[in-house]
């Protein structure tokens, strides 16, 4: 396969029509120097709640987004606040029409909308100005503005985003999505959201593993379990790489590219969220609702 392969994975169609979008309510954006785009970001409400001995799945990753195009799931994403979704720029090729995109939140089973599922039309897509400028998949970040606001619940909550000064050492990090189980096996019914723990890989080591320092840029971060040969098969392009930081969940990466499940010694490469955090804040602050 080509070296720079966007992680565009399997596509699925929801088995019931889109749900009505929720009624508008005020946006509560916080623009601060903290990791917060919303006052309640990064807080899961699933502690102590179990169903049949396992964590209630709809509350485990409440910021997860399913990006649909033409009715099909094509990418993952994450909730920043009531009106904004963070995802990968390469999910939005030039021949794809904005009005054909839909965003789903509160979705666990990809084939069936649940009690907490909300559907949204897209108002605007903002791709980072460096996308594909210095690297075939560099600057792989996009913001999606919704036409109506998300209603938060225990199953639908925003994620915090990393800042440039955040210490990423010794963090427990996870990737989530509805992607491939392996290079040749797609996710089978009931199409539940997948998760995989991903250790972070030092920048210099990632450059060494790819063989060229120019392949891994400062706006990228690498993760993967080289000992157990785990990579980002379980994720989707645009999906979040999140870590627990001082009891708060923070997004540090966006699933971007890699060599795939057949080459597990090549780590998954993510857009480094902290590199784009100022741009994210500025775009959200300057774009009218």
Structure confidence at residue 93 (pLDDT): 83
Question: Dihedral of CA 88/252/58/30: which sign?
Answer: negative
pLDDT at 185: 55
Q: What is the pLDDT of residue 49?
A: 34
pLDDT value of residue 26: 34
Closest CA relative to residue 86, chosen from 46, 35, 133:
35
- Which 3 state secondary structure label does DSSP give 180? coil
276, two tokens: 């784009």
Q: What is the pTM of this model?
A: 0.84
How much is the pLDDT for 12? 41
Distance CA 50, CA 243 (A): 22
pLDDT value of position 28: 32
225 in catalytic set:
no
Q: By the 8 A CB rule, do 118 and 151 touch?
A: yes
Q: What pLDDT score was predicted for residue 30?
A: 34
pLDDT of residue 52: 31
| Domains of the chain with bracketed CATH | 160-274 (2.40.10.10)
pLDDT tens digits along 120-177: 999 999 999 999 887 878 899 999 999 999 999 999 999 999 999 999 988 889 998 8
Single out the catalytic residue among 102, 109, 140, 236.
140
What is the pLDDT, as a whole number, of residue 266? Answer: 85
Q: What is the 3-state secondary structure (H, E, C) of 193-213?
A: CEEEECCEECHHHHHHHHCCH
pLDDT at 224: 87
Nearest to residue 5, comparing CAs of 251, 232, 242?
Answer: 232
From the list 237, 256, 274, 277, the catalytic residue is 237
- Give the pLDDT of residue 39: 64
**pLDDT score of 180:** 57
> Cβ atoms within 10 A of the Cβ of 112, count?
13
- Please confirm, yes or no, whether 135 is among the known catalytic residues: no
Residue 125: partners with Cβ closer than 8 Å, 6 or more residues away = 92, 98, 101, 142, 143, 144, 145
User: Which stretches of the chain score pLDDT less than 50?
Assistant: 1, 8-35, 48-56
Active-site pick, 73, 90, 128, 275? 90
């Amino acid at each position: 396969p080509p070296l720079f392969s966007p992680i565009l994975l399997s596509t699925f169609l929801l088995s019931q029509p889109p749900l009505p979008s929720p009624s508008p309510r005020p946006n509560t954006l916080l623009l601060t120097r903290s990791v917060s785009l919303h006052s309640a970001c990064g807080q899961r409400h699933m502690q102590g709640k179990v169903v049949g001995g396992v964590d209630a799945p709809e509350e485990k990753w409440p910021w997860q987004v399913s990006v649909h195009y033409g009715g099909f799931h094509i990418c993952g994403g994450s909730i920043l606040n009531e009106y904004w979704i963070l995802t990968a720029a390469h999910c939005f090729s030039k021949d794809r029409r904005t009005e054909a995109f839909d965003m789903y939140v509160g979705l666990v089973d990809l084939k069936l909308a649940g009690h907490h599922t909300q559907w949204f039309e897209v108002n605007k897509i903002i791709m980072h100005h460096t996308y594909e400028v210095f690297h075939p998949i560099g600057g792989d970040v996009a913001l999606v503005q919704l036409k109506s606001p998300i209603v938060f619940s225990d199953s639908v909550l925003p994620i915090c985003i990393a800042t440039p000064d955040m210490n990423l050492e010794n963090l427990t990090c996870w990737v989530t999505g509805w992607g491939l189980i392996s290079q040749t096996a797609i996710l089978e019914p009931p199409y539940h959201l997948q998760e995989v723990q991903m250790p972070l890989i030092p920048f210099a080591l990632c450059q060494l593993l790819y063989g060229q320092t120019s392949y891994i840029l400062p706006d990228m971060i690498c993760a993967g379990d080289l000992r157990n040969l785990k990579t980002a098969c379980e994720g989707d392009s645009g999906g979040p790489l999140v870590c627990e930081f001082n009891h708060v969940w923070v997004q540090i990466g966006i699933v971007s590219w890699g060599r795939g499940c057949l080459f597990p010694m090549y780590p998954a490469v993510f857009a480094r969220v902290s590199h784009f955090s100022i741009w994210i804040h500025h775009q959200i602050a300057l774009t009218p609702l």
